[in-house]
Amino acid sequence: MQTIHSLADMTCWSNEVIGSGSTIALVPTMGYFHEGHLELMRSASRLADRVVVSLFVNSLQFGPSEDLASYPRDLARDSSMAADENVDILFVPTDIEMYEPDFNARVRVDGITDTLCGKQRPAHFEGVTTVVAKLFNIVKPHITVFGQKDFQQFCVIRKMIRDLNWDIEIVAHPIVREEDGLAMSSRNTYLSREERGKGLCLHKAIQHAKKRFDNGLTDAELLKSEIHDIISAYSGVSIDYISVVDKNNLSDKEVIDSNSVLALAVRVGQTRLMDNCFLGNDTETSN
């Protein structure tokens, strides 16, 4: 595996690969890898000839009171983990090259960003779409792989790709969970032992929702209120949202059907945790 820092060197490598007729899969990340990231890398290497993993803690997507400064970083650890996978390039651009002092451009996707996490974090998705658009232009991937845990992020990038006519296939990788069901996230490192236990309320809620839907419940309001009760039983956990949305456009559902996704976000202490599941499907993946 080779590490590239310069934007020009990255594009030069991609041009050579594309010129030779090979395909490139890009896995965008902010680093501090866990098994979930490694699964994205493995999936990418099954889908394309060459794999690029970008590692960039993107200041644009953090709000003023969010965790940009404390976001976990360990390049040496990440490099050795990626090197054990089938990764060709670890692309680690510098802040100064990505966002030069006179950088003024923004890429925004309206509508689909106004709901779920977008309500609480108004500038977040604009930061995500801007950096991912830059990464697409620099790396020129044929395929990109995103984790389904950030389901809204996946939907927003999919919409951006369609609206801006990029010839890029986007693939969602199912949520990777710890043995006890906690969805893997770099932010789980913020949790104390006690908080980690409380974070399991999300998995418990998801299991409940799947069972209720399988047993015929279709009333979204009723399901949300049952989930509210499950999560509220955990002290120190505050609910950001409990939503049942359409998997294609994230509009709210009143009647749960096989296109429905249950999306949850809570705060455990200072840490924001998210989780979701498809209600009408055994598999957690959907493109």
Q: Do 160 and 31 contact (CB within 8 A), yes or no?
A: no
φ, ψ for residue 279, nearest 5 deg:
-85, -30
Q: How far is the CB of 99 from ligand PAF (least distance, A)?
A: 12
Nearest alpha carbon to residue 255 among 226, 239, 279: 279
- Please say which residue, 93 or 224, places its beta carbon nearer to ligand PAF: 93
In sequence order, what are the residues at sequence separation of 6 or more whose Cβ sits closer than 8 angstroms to the Cβ of residue 120? 240, 241, 265
- Does 29 bind ligand PAF (CB under 6 A)? Our answer is yes
The one segment of 27-35, 176-184, 213-221, 235-243 that binds ligand PAF by CB under 6 A = 27-35
- Does 128 bind ligand PAF (CB under 6 A)? Our answer is yes
What separation, in Å, do the N-terminal and C-terminal C-alpha atoms of the chain show?
A: 29
- Please say which residue, 14 or 153, places its beta carbon nearer to ligand PAF: 153
Q: How far is the CB of 205 from ligand PAF (least distance, A)?
A: 22
The one segment of 75-83, 102-110, 126-134, 221-229 that binds ligand PAF by CB under 6 A = 126-134
- Does 58 bind ligand PAF (CB under 6 A)? Our answer is yes
Q: Do 41 and 82 contact (CB within 8 A), yes or no?
A: yes
- Please say which residue, 220 or 263, places its beta carbon nearer to ligand PAF: 263
Q: How far apart are CA 85 and CA 88, in angstroms?
A: 9
Is 142 one of the annotated active-site residues of the chain?
A: no
Q: How far apart are CA 283 and CA 285, in angstroms?
A: 6
Among residues 34, 37, 124, 173, the one annotated as catalytic is 37
- Does 36 bind ligand PAF (CB under 6 A)? Our answer is no
* β-bridge mates for residue 274, sequence order: 265
Q: How far apart are CA 84 and CA 67, in angstroms?
A: 29
DSSP string, 63-97: -TTSSTTTS---HHHHHHHHHTTT-SEEE---HHH
The one segment of 10-18, 99-107, 125-133, 175-183 that binds ligand PAF by CB under 6 A = 125-133
- Give the SS3 label for residue 185: coil
- Does 98 bind ligand PAF (CB under 6 A)? Our answer is no
Measured in residues, the chain has a length of 287
Q: How far is the CB of 177 from ligand PAF (least distance, A)?
A: 17
Residue burial 152-168, b: 16+ Cβ < 10 Å; e: rest: bbbbbbbbbbeeeebeb
Q: How far is the CB of 194 from ligand PAF (least distance, A)?
A: 26
Residue 10 tokens, joined: 């990255």
The one segment of 71-79, 95-103, 128-136, 204-212 that binds ligand PAF by CB under 6 A = 128-136
Residues 129-168 that bind ligand PAF (CB under 6 A): 131-132, 150, 153
* # binding residues, ligand PAF (CB under 6 A): 10
Q: How far is the CB of 213 from ligand PAF (least distance, A)?
A: 27
Q: How far is the CB of 259 from ligand PAF (least distance, A)?
A: 24
Binding site for ligand PAF (CB under 6 A): 28-30, 58, 61, 128, 131-132, 150, 153
Catalytic residue set: 37
